[in-house]
Amino acid sequence: MKRKLRTSVLLSALASLSLCGCTRYNDQSLAQSSNISVKKDATVLDGTYEFVSEITQITAPEPRQDERTSQEWEGIWLFRDARFSQTMAKRQRLDWTPSHFPDDARKLGFDAASGRYKLAGNDVQLEYDLTFYPGKAGRREIMTYHIDGDKLTLVQELTPTRESAATGQRMVVLRKVN
């Protein structure tokens, strides 16, 4: 049985991440070593964005393309004062209970994270503090950003990690709503 997830639930979902088995990264050395500070140019991303699309092109070990669109997924990204938050959910999600949990967390149709960010030229570095996927907590991702009107495009070059051997590129398109 499937049920519809509304936008208001997305906003409250981030607040309830700790109830979903999320991981909090508590290492103070990451905050100290990154020397993140709010810079005047960091406000260029400040705002609320809605999810438009995401295309992931895997080149190795097995070539494939994954795509998510706003017809199937709904999401909100927030950037403010060198902090970010991102919540994504499938519009139609499987009905599951804790006793009948999917064998793969990706099948839940939910993703969320928050942390700090800093800008360097056309790159944004995301430092994940709180995340739905434990392996992502404490990680840094560098994405090239491009703003065209109300559209924000983020491009990440994928490199192998302990969770995935994939190489390729991920492109996320967001639309600023305020």
Record the tokens describing residue 134, joined without a space. 């434990």
Compute the average pLDDT of residues 72-100. Answer: 89
Identify whether the C-beta of residue 66 lies closer than 8 Å to the C-beta of residue 56: yes
Predicted confidence (pLDDT) at residue 136 exceeds the cutoff of 50: yes
Helix, strand, coil % over all residues of the chain, rounded to 5: 20, 50, 30
Predicted confidence (pLDDT) at residue 59 exceeds the cutoff of 90: yes
In a domain, 39, yes or no: no
In a domain, 154, yes or no: yes
* Residue 66 pLDDT class (50, 70, 90 cuts): very high
Highest mean pLDDT among 28-37, 79-88, 107-116, 158-167: 79-88
Structural domains counted in the chain: 1
In a domain, 38, yes or no: no
3-class secondary-structure state, position 8: helix
Identify whether the C-beta of residue 65 lies closer than 8 Å to the C-beta of residue 56: yes
* Residue 15 pLDDT class (50, 70, 90 cuts): very low
- Reported for 159-165, long-range contacts at CB under 8 A and 24+ positions apart, including other chains, are 161/135, 162/135, 163/135, 163/136, 165/60, 165/61
Q: For the domain that residue 138 is a member of, what is the CATH number?
A: 2.40.128.280
In a domain, 106, yes or no: no
pTM of the shown model: 0.73
Digit-coded pLDDT (tens) for 95-127: 777 777 666 666 778 889 999 999 999 999 999
Closest CA to 126 of 177, 165, 84: 84
Domain span at 122: 2-26+45-100+111-176
CB-based contacts of 69: which residues, under 8 Å, 6+ apart? 52, 53
